[in-house]
Amino acid sequence: MNKRGLLLLVLCLFVLLPGARSRVGAQRQEATIERKESQESHLSRSPAQGLNGQQVELDDHGQLIYPPDYPDLVKPQLKEPGRIDEYRLKLRQARISGSVALEFIVGSNGRARDIRVIRTSGFALLDQAAVKVIQLAQWKSGQLNGRPVNVWMKTTWEHSLPSWSGPSSQQLLGILAYVIKQRAEQPPRKVYWSPQFEAQAQDWLTLARYHIQRGMWDQALEPLLELYATAEPFSQFNEVLSALGEVLMKLNKPELAEKIYQQLKNQPSPLAAAPTERPKPTPSQAEKDKPTLIDPCQQTADHETSVLKAEETKPTASKQRPSNVADPMLTLSSELVNVPVIARDSNGRYVGDLQKKEFTIYEDKVRQEIAFFAATEEPLAVALLLDKSLSTTDELPRIQEAAIGFIEQLGPEDQVLVVSFNEDIRVESQLTADREKLRAAVRATRSGSTTRLYDALMLSVVEHLSQLQGRRAMVLLTDGYDSASKIIGRDEVIKMVEEAGVPIYTIAYDTRKAMEQLVRQQSEKDDMSAKLLGMQRGYQLARKFLRQLEEVSGGRLYPANRLDDLPGTFAQIAQELRHLYSLGYYPSNDSADGRFHKIRVEVNRKGVKVHSRAGYYPHQP
């Protein structure tokens, strides 16, 4: 071929090939679109089947994502939080405290992905730090049938300065304003929901109701905000909106309340309706500045502690609203102060035949009129709370038999509520005098890994004992070490116990040696010392907490260093409960001044001494 022919061939190829390339490219693009449409069609179908045959979700890449409560799933474990020293320094300098709720997927490779803030802290810097600490954290992946799997998780990351006691009302209102705005601007997003998440949402609502009944609007705002921001699939979400709107009106935030009421109006099949007559805010307060997100650059320096808490929600106590709480907005203007009393003679023997007229009660040296009296022959209601954390696994049968022995020593008409708790809080039996049901309930308890002691106390007091009149008591078997409570803190639950006036008899079972041995077996050498030191501090706080329970409730604390001590200790408690009096009065000075009010009980019988609660702090509406 001559040069001219070769030139013509090259020219033809130059003209024809781009068209061929474009046709091939178009064909490839069409194939890609078809595959993408096929994949999207697959993702839009009902959830796929997991390894155990039950339904699971698919992520945007078509991968199976298992919920944390999937049967037989071993949940991911945090091995090491991400190091964010630069963020922590900035947070200290800005004096920022708060918590962030996040959701994410722990992949089968042990790394977190698809991290999303579901409840902001109100500070952009703190939200960024929370996402970063999850992103950099090292996880032990979830396991199912021995295979690593992807697991959907929820977590709260908290950063606190030493003097921080929780978010202020202004900060909570700022967060709420931001969440409302965000919801208006963004389309609704599908959220995974399960019976366990439903249970935790009910726990938050229970706490909110407790504060609302007492006119404690600031305290009610935090659990309602948590529900509003993270629990839209909650079956009682309309009640959350109704209560939140009312609380906002009480806090003189009508603009925010109107937005909540509008959302309630737009909800399908409402379970609750907004009040027809709403309280009107005072003009001076209504004109205050609107709540906004706080600029961290306007803050300044202190040191902090950072805590990562797994938000694995669990079942809890009975979810029915108490019969005497028809309206969640009911406010109690005057509280009956309950005073449990034990009387002994000069030889230390119980005295069980005292009459109402023989008792005198003083509050701050002022005599009070006894409005309620229950003698020792009246039936007793007992909440039996059994701590079933990991350290009790090997000894569970002996603990169960000791608890059953305690029940058998109560009177035939005495009723018992059985609650077990670890990472779960389970009502094994409602209040009943049926011994067969109670024995079965105690034997149904199972051990777990962590302990929600504070949450269990709160739910037992609020949902059960606080609704009862007459002789009431709680018997608590625990080591006092709380490692997983999500709804309430130590100081808050102490206040609740103090207000309820329910004596708590605690058997402090010593688990420290067993837990130290477990840490030594499961920890790496590099971090063993730090874990043991943290555990030592935790047990110190546990002992202090149990002593506080004894002091504020008027009950008693019984150490049980060995399992062999349990039957005898339970017998002592049963004997004392048979001689428990319950008195009550309405304070003659009902001002909520916030100071401690001392209680003194006297008996008009020679040689008889009494044991009762020392006093109380009145709630402040």
**Residues 182-192: pLDDT tens digits?**
888 876 666 67
Are 126 and 100 in contact by the 8 Å Cβ rule? The answer is yes
Are 431 and 416 in contact by the 8 Å Cβ rule? The answer is yes
Give mean pLDDT, residues 141-165: 82
Contacts of 541 (CB under 8 A, 6+ apart): 490
Q: Is 388 helix (H, G, I), strand (E, B) or coil?
A: coil
Q: Where are the alpha helices (DSSP H) in 392-524?
A: 396-408, 435-443, 453-463, 490-500, 512-522
Instruction: Sort residue 240 into left (φ over 0), alpha (ψ -120 to 50) or beta.
Output: alpha
Q: Which two tokens stand for residue 462?
A: 């609020």
pTM as predicted: 0.71
Q: Which two tokens stand for residue 279?
A: 């309280």
Quote the pLDDT of residue 331. 32
Q: Higher confidence at residue 142 or residue 469?
A: 142
Integer-rounded Cα Rg, in Å, for the chain is 30
Q: Where are the alpha helices (DSSP H) in 409-488?
A: 435-443, 453-463
Quote the pLDDT of residue 75. 84
Are 50 and 73 in contact by the 8 Å Cβ rule? The answer is no
Q: Which two tokens stand for residue 198?
A: 């439903």
Q: Which of these, 459, 466, 225, lies nearest to 325 by C-alpha position?
A: 466
pLDDT tens per residue across span 31-72: 333 333 333 333 333 456 555 556 667 766 667 888 887 888
Neighbours of 271 (CB within 10 A): 13
Neighbours of 329 (CB within 10 A): 17
Q: How confident is the model at residue 384 (pLDDT cuts 50, 70, 90)?
A: very high
Contacts of 289 (CB under 8 A, 6+ apart): none
Quote the pLDDT of residue 310. 37
- What architecture is domain 377-578? 3-Layer(aba) Sandwich (3.40)
Distance separating alpha carbons of residues 373 and 314, to the nearest angstrom: 38
Contacts 24+ apart (CB under 8 A), 68-71: 68/142, 68/151, 68/152, 68/153, 68/154, 68/196, 68/312, 69/194, 69/195, 69/196, 69/312, 70/144, 70/151
Quote the pLDDT of residue 363. 94
Q: Can you count the helices (H) and strands (E) in the chain?
A: 16, 25
% of the chain with per-residue pLDDT over 90: 38
Handedness of CA 229, 231, 233, 239 (dihedral sign): negative
pLDDT tens per residue across span 118-129: 888 888 888 999
Quote the pLDDT of residue 349. 94
pLDDT tens per residue across span 200-234: 899 999 999 988 988 889 989 999 998 998 888 99
Distance separating alpha carbons of residues 154 and 445, to the nearest angstrom: 26
Q: Where are the alpha helices (DSSP H) in 448-503?
A: 453-463, 490-500
Give mean pLDDT, residues 1-29: 46
Q: How confident is the model at residue 485 (pLDDT cuts 50, 70, 90)?
A: confident
Q: How confident is the model at residue 1 (pLDDT cuts 50, 70, 90)?
A: low
Quote the pLDDT of residue 291. 34
| Whole-number Cα distances in Å, 376 to 198, 380, 441 | 40, 9, 27
Q: How confident is the model at residue 510 (pLDDT cuts 50, 70, 90)?
A: confident
Contacts 24+ apart (CB under 8 A), 352-356: 352/376, 352/377, 352/578, 352/579, 354/581, 354/603, 354/605, 354/608
Q: Which two tokens stand for residue 140?
A: 């032990």
Which element (helix H / strand E) includes 582? Answer: strand 580-585
Are 93 and 184 in contact by the 8 Å Cβ rule? The answer is no
Q: Which two tokens stand for residue 104?
A: 């994410």
pLDDT greater than 90 at residue 513:
no
Q: How confident is the model at residue 284 (pLDDT cuts 50, 70, 90)?
A: very low
Quote the pLDDT of residue 54. 61
Phi first, then psi: what are they for 194, rounded to 5°? -150, 170
pLDDT greater than 90 at residue 86:
no
pLDDT tens per residue across span 403-443: 999 999 999 999 999 999 988 899 999 999 999 999 999 99
Residue 603, beta-bridge partner list: 359
Quote the pLDDT of residue 48. 61
> What separation, in Å, do the N-terminal and C-terminal C-alpha atoms of the chain show?
102
- Hunting for tokens 């007992």 — which residue is that? 382
Residue 385, beta-bridge partner list: 419, 476
- Hunting for tokens 């697991």 — which residue is that? 151
Quote the pLDDT of residue 410. 94
Q: Are strands 151-160 and 98-106 parallel, antiparallel or unpaired?
A: antiparallel
Q: Higher confidence at residue 263 or residue 9?
A: 263
Q: Is 309 helix (H, G, I), strand (E, B) or coil?
A: strand
Neighbours of 23 (CB within 10 A): 10
pLDDT tens per residue across span 551-569: 999 999 999 888 888 999 9
pLDDT greater than 90 at residue 199:
no
Distance separating alpha carbons of residues 592 and 619, to the nearest angstrom: 6
pLDDT tens per residue across span 289-342: 333 333 333 333 333 333 444 333 333 333 333 333 333 333 333 478 999 999
What one-character DSSP code corresponds to residue 432? E
